[in-house]
A and B are shown apart, each in its own frame.
Chain A
Amino acid sequence: MKSHVMSQLAALEAESIHIFREVAAESERPCLLFSGGKDSIVMLHLARKAFAPSPIPFPVMHVDTGLNFAEVIAYRDRWTAQLGLRLVVASVQDAIERGIVKEEPNGSRNRIQSPVLLEAAAREKFDALFGGGRRDEEKARAKERIFSFRDEFGQWDPKNQRPEIWSLYNGRVFPGESIRVFPLSNWTELDIWSYIAEEEIEIPSLYLACEREVVERDGMLYAVNEFITLKPGETSQRLSVRYRTMGDANLTAAVASIADTVAKVVEEIAAARITERGATRGDDKVSEAAMEDRKKEGYF
């Protein structure tokens, strides 16, 4: 007799596909938030699978901070074109020039993405936004629903979340309100990498190790690029590194690594002892509750 047991990756995939279909069936104007990072790449892959042989029935939106790695933008444009998707670009640079948001002194555009996202979502009348957040990433995310209700200001209220029972999701909203939907809620970083390996999903080569010119700051390794230049007194060195997350190019650190294939990355992640945000995000170290605060303001 056959066992009728799904592998854990197959079960996670099925759960995510169920979520995509549920939103596509019930929301008026859903949209997938695509950053070019590995999580949103996996989301796009799952969305394609959910509706095959039809194309993905919603557009993709990128909140472009203007500080992206060039390869990530190229990847975004190539894939959305290949899948025949409409790409909405919400530009932070443009919003700064229009005076909608102000550059923060530390150079991070992480926080000022939120008003730009909210403005574009309102303009497009999106009532459901798929995000690639995972609950293993961070403590505030661990308590967020898969269907996360946002009021007309895009705010998340952790004390007033809709109960989420079984897989009976409630995506109902009044005009102006929206739902952030996280189909990867139950995936871990290792699951994402194992899935990329199993499905042979193409990823930007920045995720794979190669020798790069790096400078060490606050114990983290930053690749020297158009956004990161040596300050007086700093010296750079050539090291084999890869990126574990894909944030802004001026603030995302790389990790020392010799994993130059996806299979080797899976091995390294399985043995990693530091969380991905702790290892690579200068902008998440601000406070204990940095993510919780940003989410309340409408962050992803």
Chain B
Amino acid sequence: MEADLLRFATAGSVDDGKSTLIGRLLFDSKSLFSDQLESVERVSRERGHEYTDLSLLTDGLRAEREQGITIDVAYRYFATPRRKFIIADTPGHIQYTRNMVTGASTADVALVLVDARKGMTEQSRRHAFIATLLGVPHMVVCVNKMDLVDWSEEVFEGIRREFAEFATRLRLRDLTFIPLSALHGDNVVTRSEKMPWFDGAPLLSHLERLHVASDRNLVDVRFPVQYVVRPQSHETRDYRGYAGTIASGVLKPGDRIRVLPAGLETTIASITTADGPLEEAYPPMAVTITLKDEIDISRGDMLCRPNNVPAVMQDIDAQVCWMDESAQLTVGKTYAIKHTTRWARAVVKAIDYRIDINTLHRVEGVEGLSLNEIGRIRLRSTKPLFVDPYLTNRQTGAFILVDESTNRTVGAGMIVGESAG
């Protein structure tokens, strides 16, 4: 079988061993190059560190090295014969919630690090909450630094119980706990001999075997039209192809489809790529679809099945993470909204509450949302959007808000449903 792709997000601070863990995964899977390692060793020596500081691998920018912090999401890559892995490595501190949200938005798996000596912290709760909010289907809690607690099963079980109890308040589909020592490599790539009481797989084997195919929504056909292909030549004069990436569902030639917003129905004539026709297409394939009937379709329209359509709505109820430091999200303000391939404008009608991401409590009566704050809001858009709840569809349930005065991306939204307006 050919290798597939797995994206995972890590979050954590310098001292919980996250960088060491990533360094260990890269090093033990032979994905670290010798000149990279030499550079890290040299810099570690120059700074008087007694050990090779693997965090230097991920803290790439001079601004970060000068301040000794990780500012932004760093992407790392490694592969085994079974899988290619993309790591979105994000800093763990509360002020970097927006980076965590970015990293988690495309992740199949979230790795949450817990220091075995400290047990669960506010930070680990926050990571778990954000991963859940962003709909990451799998979570692995890495109980790290087991070497510093004498490889104690009791310590591990205590943390597992506490975390599992907390997790009942979240909607987690798959939760795994692994005791490990990133520094010594125990249970990272190879099974630890120090912890014979643990019968689970080491982290890398777990990540290699994790079944992620069924995480994709293969039921609800959603095809946002991204680009209309109309070649201007004689032999292809009548050709009109609708190019796009399949958001969800499985499509086949001959399938009846409905076009939104027009509401008209027709049949799929062909699904092609530059390599030729396909018998079926599924997410996240990028394809071009031709239809039996000539219908006026443009970018931002959506193809779906006649008996399974997204909600067509303008009043949107959503969780939003605010990502802008220069201005708050406030009631009455209008933003540009991008949902699938469709742009519109949306006005904030109400902020129902803000979520305290440390206690998960709702704070009502707030005036606005500031950088890194998450809240439940109601929007009204200038034109209808074709949406599903984020819980059932990470593609058609997501949107971004853009401040039109700066063009900056200021908010990430996850649709809950239709609001009462």
Instruction: Give the interface of A toward B (CB within 8 A).
Output: 2-15, 17-18, 21-22, 24-25, 48-55, 135-136, 139-140, 142-143, 158-159, 161-168, 170, 172-174, 185-186, 188, 190-191, 272-275, 278-279, 288-289, 292
Contact with A along B68-101 (1 / 0, CB 8 A): 0001111111010001101000000000001101
Q: How far is the CB of A164 from chain B (nearest CB, A)?
A: 6
CB pair B245 A18 closer than 8 Å: yes
Report whether B72 and A166 are in contact in the complex, using a CB–CB cutoff of 8 Å.
no
Known A3-B213, A168-B399; contact A158-B61, beta-carbon cutoff 8 A: yes
B239-288 residues with Cβ-Cβ distance < 8 A to A are 239, 241, 243-245, 250, 273-275, 280, 282, 284-286, 288
- Residue tally, chain B, CB below 8 Å to A: 75
Q: Are A165 and B244 in contact (CB under 8 A)?
A: no
The one of B34, B105, B227 that contacts A21, using a Cβ cutoff of 8 Å: B227
Question: Contact at B227–A170, with CB atoms within 8 Å?
Answer: no
Are the CB atoms of A5 and B338 closer together than 8 Å?
no
Mask, B208-239, CB within 8 Å of A = 1, is: 00000100101000000011011110001001
Q: Is the CB of A292 within 8 A of B227?
A: no
Q: Look across to chain B and name the residue whose beta carbon is closest to the beta carbon of A141.
A: B60
CB-defined contacts of B72 to chain A, threshold 8 Å: 143, 158, 161
Q: Which residue of A lies closest to B60 (CB)?
A: A139
List the B side residues contacting A159 at CB < 8 Å.
63, 71
Contacts of B226 in A (CB 8 A): 18, 21-22, 25
In the complex, chain A residues whose CB is within 8 Å of the CB of B83: 8
Which chain B residues border A142 with CB–CB below 8 Å?
58, 60, 74-76
Chain B contacts for A185, CB-based, 8 A: 75
A288 and B250 CA atoms in complex are apart in Å by: 48
Q: Which of B119-127, B141-149, B406-414 contacts A (4 or more CB under 8 A)?
A: B406-414
Chain B residues within an 8 Å CB radius of A170 = 338, 400, 402, 407-409
Question: Does B117 have its Cβ within 8 Å of any Cβ on chain A?
Answer: no
**Which residue on chain B has the smallest CB distance to residue A24?**
B227
Which positions in B face A, CB cutoff 8 Å?
Answer: 2-5, 33-36, 39, 43, 57-58, 60-63, 65, 71-77, 79, 83-84, 86, 98-99, 101-102, 105-106, 213, 216, 218, 226-227, 229-232, 236, 239, 241, 243-245, 250, 273-275, 280, 282, 284-286, 288, 299, 323, 336, 338-339, 341, 394-395, 398-400, 402, 407-409, 412
Contact B4 A6 (CB under 8 A): yes
Asked whether B77 lies within 8 Å of A186 as measured between CB atoms, the reply is yes
- Is the beta-carbon distance between B102 and A164 smaller than 8 angstroms? yes
In the bound complex, CA of A172 to CA of B336 (Å): 11
Say what secondary structure dominates the interface of chain B. Answer: mixed
Q: Binding site of A, secondary structure by majority: helix, strand, loop or mixed?
A: loop
Asked if A188 contacts B77 (CB within 8 A), the reply is yes
CA A6 to CA B287, docked complex, whole Å: 13
**Contact in complex: A6, B407 (CB < 8 Å):** no
A191 to B78, alpha carbons, bound, how many Å?
11
In-complex Cβ contact of A49 among B218, B250, B273 (8 A): B273
* Contact status B75-A168, CB under 8 Å: no
Flag if B74 contacts A143 (CB, 8 Å). Answer: yes
The 8 closest A-B pairs by CB, nearest first: A139-B60, A278-B35, A49-B274, A7-B2, A52-B274, A17-B286, A8-B5, A14-B286
State whether B60 touches A143 (Cβ < 8 A): yes
Q: Of all chain B residues, which has the CB nearest A48? A: B274
Nearest Cβ on chain A to B250's Cβ, whole angstroms: 7
Q: How far does the alpha carbon of A10 sit from the alpha carbon of B72 in the complex, in Å?
A: 28
Which of B229, B273, B285, B412 has a CB less than 8 Å from the CB of A54?
B229
- 22 sample A-B contacts, Cβ–Cβ < 8 Å, listed by A number: A2-B280, A4-B213, A6-B4, A8-B2, A8-B83, A18-B284, A52-B229, A52-B288, A139-B57, A139-B60, A142-B58, A158-B63, A162-B408, A168-B398, A170-B409, A186-B86, A188-B77, A191-B84, A288-B39, A288-B62, A288-B65, A292-B61
Residues B86 and A166 in contact, CB atoms below 8 Å apart: no
Residues of B within 8 A of A13 (CB): 286
Other than A54-B232, A161-B72, A190-B79, give 12 A-B pairs with Cβ distance below 8 A: A6-B4, A6-B5, A18-B226, A21-B286, A49-B273, A49-B275, A139-B74, A143-B73, A163-B98, A288-B62, A289-B62, A292-B61
